[in-house]
Structure 1
Amino acid sequence: MRLWIALHLPRLPLEVFCPRWSADQCTVVLEQERVVAMSALAQQAGVQAGMRRGGALMLLPHAQFQQRAPQLELEAQQAVALALLQFTPQLALVEEATLLLDVGASLRLFGGPLALCRRVRSSLRALGFSATLGCAPTARGAWLLARSGGGRALKMASLLGRIDGLHVSVLPPARPYLAWLEGIGCLTLGQLRQLPRPGLQRRCGRALLDMLDDAAGMRPELYQWLQPPASFRARIELFDRVEQTSALLFGVQRLLQQLTGWLTAHQFAVERVRLLLEHERGRQAGPPTVIEVVLAEPTWRDVHLLRLLKERLGRQELDAPVIGLCLEAPQVQPMAPPSESLFPEPGGSKEDWQRLLEVLTARLGAENVLQAAPLADYRPEHANQWVSVQQKIRAPDARAQLPPDVPALPRPAWLLAQPIALLMREHRPYYGSPLKIISAGERIEAGWWQSLQTRDYFMAEGADHAHYWLYRERPSGGDPAQARWYLHGFFA
């Protein structure tokens, strides 16, 4: 099924034109000395779109006047387009601040047209934008619906019925000829389509007929798809100086939406993100505060990243007010395919366990969430160390280091922090009951660079049939009577 979604941004937020505006101020945005946007207080005072600067100045002598910034508008459209790449890689920026998305291949993934339209609207709200949405089998048909207030037409017959009732001024090539069209009584697109094509082409040009044919699906539609950048770095300027980290979450969410679209377009998963909190510029300029999150398991989901950054921001103390945010993804890798397991893992998947560790690390700090890492040392108490869970460990294969005819050596599940000296009863080491040696000895001699340890390890069994790991120290004189026995671990 071929389906297109068109998003028309009829009025970008005032923050796009004036990023440092405040809601409690009377702010007016001008273009060629006419009002194009205003704050709520300015609108309540009577300022309207299209009003000249002098008229607005008479109503609000103390208002703040700002000039429209087309470059900021273009950057805002590109930010929206980058976030929407999570729904389809075929996205194009077209005329009159409209985005076209070819979503025919994405319908099954997102649960159909209605569910996909809801997801698109939700992403726009998370970005802080509003748009009119059109959905149709052709790109130009969806564009016409979006430009005329929005709507859905999933079949070609219903689309033609919808666009036939639209005013001819919705077509850009028809606007220079509105007076002539109104003079002959042609007010809608349906009436325009009924006019003789040769005469209409001689009068209005070929572009008008091409646009009508595109909307009706009579011509192939070709667009230049948006190409995401090779590396990700997104930045926004805040509306005011922010001194509380909780007020930064909305801006962080906007940046994460763009990161999700970029990762999906490249089929990447991020391993490390860096959030920069920018402070004052000029004489009072200072270096940005860097918040870095290292993931144990790569992800491309913005929900989990938002949770981690929320935990880190909750622990962060600001040395100066924040005026801007910048998000970077310095470390990515190809996205792993989904698991092919038929049944879910008991107690949650490996990804769920990694997500829990990442949340604990963000909340408690990387130095307080540790994991055991093996060390190349024969002494059992020195054979591992505690490192951060953010450090990736590649454990060596112990069997690969031994000759093939040597069996695996037993190791207890519970190793005591300090060995316990044992008494001797009936010529046997005693721990609740006399212990019976049930294995051959394993001799360990190591630590000559610190303190030489010479031990013979054995597995022993008690009267309760529990198994213990013992060792006997070999005295320097070689007299077996002087040897001491110690308990070093318990077998499961």
Structure 2
Amino acid sequence: MRLWIALYLPRLPLEVFCPNWSADQCSVVIEQEGVLAVSRLAQQMGVRPGMRRSGALMLAPEAQMHERAPQQEQEALHAVALAMLQYTPQVAQGEGAALLLDVGASLRLFGGIRRLCRLVRDNLQKLGFTGVLGVAPTARGAWLLARNGGGRTLKLDSLQRELQCLPVGLLTPLQRHQRWLDGIGCLSIGDLLRLPRPGLQRRCGSEVLEMLDAAQGLVPELHEWLAAPHSFKAKLELFGRIENADLLLAGAIRLLQQMTGWLCAHQFAVVRIRLLLEHERGREACPPTPVEVVLAEATWRDEHIIRLLKERLGKLELVAPVIGLVLEAPEVEPMAPLSDSLFPEPGGSPQDRQRLFEVLVARLGAENVLQAYPKADHRPEVANRWVPLHEKVRPADVTAQLPPRALPRPAFMLPKPIQLLMRDHRPFYGSCLRMVSTAERIEAGWWSETQSRDYFIAEGEDNAYYWVYRERTPGTEETRWYLQGLFA
């Protein structure tokens, strides 16, 4: 099924200066001394497109006047196109501030055209732009629907009926002939199609007929697809000096949307990202503040990364106001295929557990979320150590041949053994301890520090069980007892 989504950005000249997720400011975009676009606040004050600059200043003297920036508009359109690569690899630029997405092969993956359009709108909202969507079996037809305010037509015959009612001024080559068309009563594309083709070609050129034929699906359409760069690095200039790290999340989300599209285009999954917070330049310049996120499990979706960045930015104290953001993906790997298991694992998949651990690390700090690192050694205090969660544990170390256990081990091991007092020739810990097991002798560490101990399971008067040992020191008659662990 051939289906296209045309994405038209009518407020792009304004939203490159004030995205829709920023605070509403009284902003006016000027082109050749005339008002091109206005914000809602400026519109409430009476400023309208088409006014002169002087008239806009009279109505809104505190308004921020911006000269139109075609270069910034093109960069913003490219950023949107890069983000749209997560829905289809075939993205092309249309006329004006428009993008064309060939989504015929993506419908089943994203659950149909309605859900796909909803995802595209949500993505565009996160990027900070306002868009109008047109859906049609041809790219030119979808573009015309989007320029006319949006619409969805899935079949070619329905599209041809829809085109009959569209105003003729939507066709760019006919805008210079608008007065002549109004004079002959040609107001819609249907009226235009009823005119003789040879005469229309002589009067308006062959480009008009080519656009009409392409919109109706009578001729094939050729497009130049967007090619994603080999490496990812996106930058965002903030229109203001941000002093609160929480406010930077919206800008970071915009950059993450671009990264998601880039990852999907290359079939990559990201392992590590770096967000640089750029500060003032010039005499008071200071180096950018880096915010790194290292993932235990590579991912190509942005939801989990957004949660981690939110935790990191929430705890960050800025050394200076931020004027720009730079997002990099220095470490990526090929995207792993989806799991082919028939039934889901109880308690969630390993990927779900890894995401939970990463959120805990971002919230509590890497030094407070540790994993066990067992080691093949008879000495209890050496047999296991705790390392940060991001440190890779080699499978050979985990599956090493552990020493045989003659007696059970306690559930809780003390960080450091506690020397016990002696009462009535028995070790004392809250009460006198009674040995309820035979001795387990552990002798090891001849290569560093020799240890010779006799371990026992002891019971107190409160019926609690303890793991204690008697230190064997040759050449001395003193007996010293230590508490090593507690049984659950």
| TM-score, length of structure 2 as denominator length | 0.85
**Is it true that 1:453 corresponds to 2:451 in the alignment?**
yes
* Alpha-carbon separation, structure 1, partners of 2:281 and 2:58: 35
Partner of 1:463: none
Residue type of the alignment partner of 2:413: L
* Alpha-carbon separation, structure 1, partners of 2:348 and 2:23: 46
**Is it true that 1:414 corresponds to 2:411 in the alignment?**
yes
Residue type of the alignment partner of 1:326: V
Partner of 2:290: 290
* Alpha-carbon separation, structure 2, partners of 1:398 and 1:98: 55
Partner of 1:241: 241
CA contact (8 A) 1:17 1:73 kept: no
**Is it true that 1:380 corresponds to 2:380 in the alignment?**
yes
How far did 1:310 drift?
A: 1.1
Give the secondary-structure state (helix, strand or coil) at the position aligned to 1:119. helix
Partner of 1:104: 104
How far did 1:344 drift?
A: 1.7
Structure 1, gaps ≥5 residues long: 424-429, 461-465
CA contact (8 A) 1:134 1:151 kept: yes
CA contact (8 A) 2:245 2:313 kept: yes
* Alpha-carbon separation, structure 2, partners of 1:5 and 1:233: 27
Partner of 1:336: 336
CA contact (8 A) 1:4 1:135 kept: yes
* Alpha-carbon separation, structure 1, partners of 2:452 and 2:393: 30
How far did 1:59 drift?
A: 3.9
CA contact (8 A) 2:466 2:486 kept: yes
CA contact (8 A) 1:164 1:191 kept: yes
Matched length: 477
**Is it true that 1:213 corresponds to 2:213 in the alignment?**
yes
How far did 1:476 drift?
A: 4.1
Residue type of the alignment partner of 2:358: E
* Alpha-carbon separation, structure 2, partners of 1:271 and 1:136: 38
How far did 1:47 drift?
A: 2.4
Q: 1:62 to 1:124 in 2, by over 3 A?
A: closer
How far did 1:491 drift?
A: 9.1
Q: 1:385 to 1:282 in 2, by over 3 A?
A: same
Q: Higher mean Cα deviation, 162-171 or 371-380?
A: 371-380
Partner of 1:435: 437
* Alpha-carbon separation, structure 2, partners of 1:39 and 1:491: 68
Q: 1:291 to 1:397 in 2, by over 3 A?
A: closer
* Alpha-carbon separation, structure 1, partners of 2:85 and 2:465: 60
Q: 1:64 to 1:474 in 2, by over 3 A?
A: closer
How far did 1:201 drift?
A: 2.9
Matches for 1:79-228 after TM superposition, within 5 Å:
79-228=79-228
* Alpha-carbon separation, structure 2, partners of 1:239 and 1:397: 52
Partner of 2:263: 263
Partner of 2:312: 312
Q: 1:277 to 1:157 in 2, by over 3 A?
A: same
* Alpha-carbon separation, structure 1, partners of 2:465 and 2:62: 86
* Alpha-carbon separation, structure 1, partners of 2:28 and 2:284: 29
Partner of 2:429: none
* Alpha-carbon separation, structure 1, partners of 2:363 and 2:303: 16
Deviations 1:66-117 (A, max 9, x none): 2111111111111111122111111111211110011111111221111111
| TM-score, length of structure 1 as denominator length | 0.85
Residue type of the alignment partner of 1:435: S
How far did 1:7 drift?
A: 0.8
Give the secondary-structure state (helix, strand or coil) at the position aligned to 1:146. helix
Give the secondary-structure state (helix, strand or coil) at the position aligned to 1:396. helix
Give the secondary-structure state (helix, strand or coil) at the position aligned to 2:190. helix
CA contact (8 A) 1:272 1:293 kept: yes
CA contact (8 A) 1:279 1:321 kept: yes
Q: 1:345 to 1:409 in 2, by over 3 A?
A: farther
Residue type of the alignment partner of 1:385: R
How far did 1:24 drift?
A: 7.6
CA contact (8 A) 1:23 1:40 kept: no
How far did 1:143 drift?
A: 0.6
